Structure 1
Amino acid sequence: MPDRSPNRRHILKAVAALGALAPLPLWANPMPSVEEVAFDPDIPVLGNADGDVTVVEFTDYQCPYCKLSFLQLSEVMKEDTGIRLVLRDWPIFGEVSRNAALLTLAANSQGRYADAVQTLMTAREKLTFRSTANLLDEAGVDVERARGDLQARQDVLVGVLQRNEAQASALQLQGTPGFLIGKALYKRGMTSDDFRKAIARARA
């Protein structure tokens, strides 16, 4: 029997609002500036908010290469405290990914965004609507509150994903992950050594 609970309907409504948008042709998405990609007031910052190098990752919580790259970058961030990390959710794997992205963004109002990201990025199980809720709950997120926040701020949070998709298209990313480090674009997964070299080049 389908789940007709109000919260589930609100989530699906937000997902549908995003999914209903037809992809724009490349020429319709103007090339974003580095500042537009790296400094979005509606996206929480991880790492050092005042860091001297910004790493932007276009990511999907169901993308295994995104997760591997995130773990590699996390190792680098333990030794380099000057990194400012921005995750631009680009849920190319469908509704479950969009749901995870929206709920994680909504968890920021509880101060649990970083915990939610860490949990979903390190999860080995396949994501579903239910497993996403369970994982976020384990991360300390009040999922019902997050769903309420998503309902209240749907235009803002869905707008974040819309901007992310438009920027990924303008940058001609073929999929996730993609990285903007300083002013250089990398259209692939990266190792810890790759990150160290890219960050050094951004600082040079």
Structure 2
Amino acid sequence: MPDPSPNRRHILKLVVGLGALAPLPLWANPLPTVEDVAFDPDIPVLGNPDGDVTIVEFTDYQCPYCKLSFLQLSEVMKEDTGIRLVLRDWPIFGEISRNAALLTLASNSQGRYADAVHTLMATRDRLTFRSTANLLGEAGIDVERARGDLAAGQDLLVGLLARTAAQASAFQLQGTPGFLIGKALYKRGMTADDFRKAVAQARA
């Protein structure tokens, strides 16, 4: 079977954990392309925007495993400046998670998206609508402005969450987190060493 063309590079393999690559079942096709998932123009980029390896995390700000994995990945990114990070918000824990995702995305108009992400990922407390606003405010985000920007751009941001949910469904993710690293999908939380190995595999 010939390789797909560069502009239609489908994800050909799924990785469960860090085991061997397994072919996709035929009924799972067609999957979103790597470009669809990793280069969505509506998602702000963290890390090196020109990095040679893109990591996509399907995440929920109330998912403890997402937070642990994100903190582990942050440590790896301090030593590896070639990583481009994209967070795909998949708020599976309800409206509070959805609110946190939308406000964080809306904070990008203030240039504070990274601050919002790191703040919510670092908190160990269960989020509420009020605590989300308080945490973002403490991080320097103008929450009222973010709410206004969210109202103005609601169709775009809600559409973004819908695209992410559809991709997660296509990949048969059972929950968060999930990671697309290069062209391999990992369906669990990951440690710093896991990320180092996956990044090395993507570069190879």
What is the TM-score of this pair, normalised by structure 2?
0.86
Provide Cα deviations, 1:102-138, integer angstroms capped at 9, x if missing partner.
0000000000000000000001111000000000001
Q: Does 2:44 align with 1:32?
A: no
Output the CA distance in 2 between the equivalents of 1:43 and 1:30: 23
Task: State the 4+ residue runs in structure 1 displaced beyond 4 angstroms.
Answer: 27-30
Structure with the higher helix share, 1 or 2? 1
Aligned residue in 1 for 2:81: 81
2: CA distance between counterparts of 1:62 and 1:29? 30
Q: Which residue of 1 aligns with 2:163?
A: 163
Q: TM-score, normalised by structure 1?
A: 0.86
How far did 1:28 drift? 10
| Equivalenced residues, count | 178
* Matched position secondary structure for 1:158: helix
- In 1, Cα distance between equivalents of 2:38 and 2:61: 20
Q: Secondary structure at the match of 1:43?
A: coil
State the distance in 1 between where 2:133 and 2:51 align: 32
**Structure 2 residues not aligned, in runs of 5+:** 1-26
Give the corresponding residue for 2:93.
Answer: 93
1:31 Cα shift?
1.4
Native 8 Å contact 1:29 1:169 kept in 2: no
**Matches of 1:123 and 1:168, distance apart in 2:** 25
Partner of 1:138: 138
How much is the aligned-residue C-alpha RMSD, in angstroms? 1.2
Q: Mark the runs of 5 or more structure 1 residues left unpaired by the alignment.
A: 1-26
Rounded to whole Å, the distance in 2 between the matches of 1:75 and 1:169 is 29
Residue in 2 that maps onto 1:188: 188
SS in 2 for 1:88: strand
Q: Residues 75-126 of structure 1: CA distance to partner in whole angstroms, max 9, x if unpaired? A: 0000000000000000000000000000000000000000000000001111
Deviations 1:27-50 (A, max 9, x none): 799510011100000000000000
